[in-house]
Amino acid sequence: MATHPPYVPRAGRIPADAAQHQRLRRNRRSEFAIWWREIDRVLLTLVLVLMAIGTAAVAAASPASARRLSTAAVKLDDLHFFYLHIRFQLLGLIAMFAASALPRDMARRAGILLGFAMLVGLLLVPVIGTTVNGAKRWLNLGMSLQPSEFLKPAYAICLAWVLSWRVRDPNLPVVPMAWGLMGLVCGLLMLQPDFGSAVLFAGVCCVLVLMSGIDVKRILALGAALVAAVVAAYVFYDNARHRIDAFLGGGTEFDQVDLAQRTLLSGGWTGSGLWLGTRKLGLPEAHTDYIFSVIGEEFGLLVCGLIVVIYLAIVLRVLLRLLDEEDLFTTLAAAGLIAQLGGQAFINILVNLQLFPSKGMTLPLISYGGSSTIALCLGVGFLLAITRRNPFIERERFRLRQLGLTMPGARK
């Protein structure tokens, strides 16, 4: 039986499938290069640093929560929540990088679709939701899903989209529509009850409405409406009244907010060291709501201060990047996303310092969480996608003189 020698292509010629494979590799490499040039690498680095700090913080807090939740029948490993957190962080990073690779228009559409889907989820929570620790906030769809967490990044994009309609038609009632959406979302959240998230959603809406351009009279009316809303919540909403009373009345030695403050300050400036803290063992929700106090005990107040500086740097970085932005949707969407992340961070920190009523709110990108970790990473991905820029387009650079400030010794 005759045998044929193997096929060898002529020099300079490549088989069709190999050529197609090379083209795909070049296209992917080109897309990655474009993404890398356009992405805000400083913002991405700051976010990854926070997530790295979160990994160490959850490792420190996991033994306290694992021992607290262990029973005679089920004993959790000390690093149980740390192992789970690593998995959720990996999923969150995938969501972040996938969202950041989207073009701006695709990111807007994805945010709107996600917002609609999660709003439907919020409507279903009172009907088929599951109750945990006295609050009905989750949907059991084969896996536990908290619609309000995934609604946070989508909510800012949806509000920005609605308010940007004013550019096309100044007569559209975009502000009343924004208030209506906020009222619907906050009403559904307060039914769960989730007063903390309702406050955060209302705050993001106020920031975007103010940035979209309203006159002074409406700003004063907005302030009066917010005061009236707080008073009404105190009078008619038990969850808000209990939290405000506990804050104004001061904590006791058995109060969780007071325990958090004592834990935070017990480590001094440099901390007691990883897994050497003792006060954290009596702290409820050490790995979520009060992880900032665990960081204070084991890593010290200096690390707590560093975390605050990183959050401030993230907020400032986004705002400076928006100074010369001409597109209204981009400005509003990015401002809303950073207001949501920064607002949640500083509410959590103030609660741990006993300077704000307890809200049951995690520390973004640091606390343990399933839905919250993935949703926050997705929000950062949307933020990176929306603020992508062509580095070859000349833009006016921000200078301190624009704010009427001069540096010492600067030439006039």
pLDDT digit string, tens, across residues 77-91 = 888 899 999 999 999
Cα 387 to Cα 384: distance, rounded to the nearest angstrom: 5
Amino acid at 379: G
d(CA 336, CA 383): 9
**What pLDDT sits at residue 154?**
93
pLDDT confidence tier of residue 404, bands split at 50, 70 and 90? very low
Percentage of residues in the chain having pLDDT higher than 90: 29
CA dist 259 and 253 (Å) reads 7
Q: Select from 148, 109, 142 the least CA-distant residue to 125.
A: 148
Taking Cα atoms as reference points, which of 294, 297, 276 lies closest to residue 284?
A: 294
Angle at 187 (CA atoms; ends 183, 189), nearest 5 degrees? 120
Burial of 252 (0-12, 13-18, 19+ CB in 10 A): exposed
Q: Which residue did the predictor score with more confidence, 214 or 112?
A: 112
Share of the chain above pLDDT 70, in %: 78
Looking at residues 217-221, what average pLDDT do you find? 68
Candidates 239, 200, 256; CA nearest to 375 is 200
> Is the pLDDT at 251 greater than 80, yes or no?
no
Angle ∠(400,379,356) on CA atoms, nearest 5: 75
Task: Give 217's contacts (C-beta < 8 A, 6+ positions apart).
Answer: none
Which among 145, 156, 147 is positioned nearest to 110, based on CA atoms? 156
Q: Is 222 exposed, middle or buried (0-12, 13-18, 19+ CB in 10 A)?
A: middle
The answer to whether 282 and 251 are in contact (CB under 8 A) is: no
d(CA 344, CA 305): 17
Rg of the chain over all Cα atoms, to the nearest angstrom: 25
- Spatial neighbors of 33 by CB under 8 A, at least 6 apart, are none
Residue predicted with more confidence, 337 or 391: 337
pLDDT exceeds cutoff 80 at 99 = yes
Provide the mean pLDDT of the chain.
80
The predicted structure's pLDDT at residue 394: 52
pLDDT digit string, tens, across residues 148-177? 889 998 999 999 999 988 878 778 888 888
pTM value surpassing 0.85:
no
Q: pLDDT higher for 4 or 101?
A: 101
- Structure token digits, residue 18: 């190999």
pLDDT category of residue 333 using cuts at 50, 70 and 90: very high
How far apart CA 216 and CA 210 sit, in angstroms, is 10
| Report for 151-165, 241-255, 385-399: range of highest mean pLDDT | 151-165
Gap between the Cα atoms of 291 and 4, Å rounded: 70
Beta strands in 141-265 (DSSP E): 144-145
Q: How far apart are CA 203 and CA 54, in angstroms?
A: 25
Q: Confirm if 20 and 361 have CB atoms less than 8 A apart.
A: no
pLDDT value at position 412?
42
Check residue 374 and give its pLDDT: 92
Q: How confident is the model at residue 402 (pLDDT cuts 50, 70, 90)?
A: very low
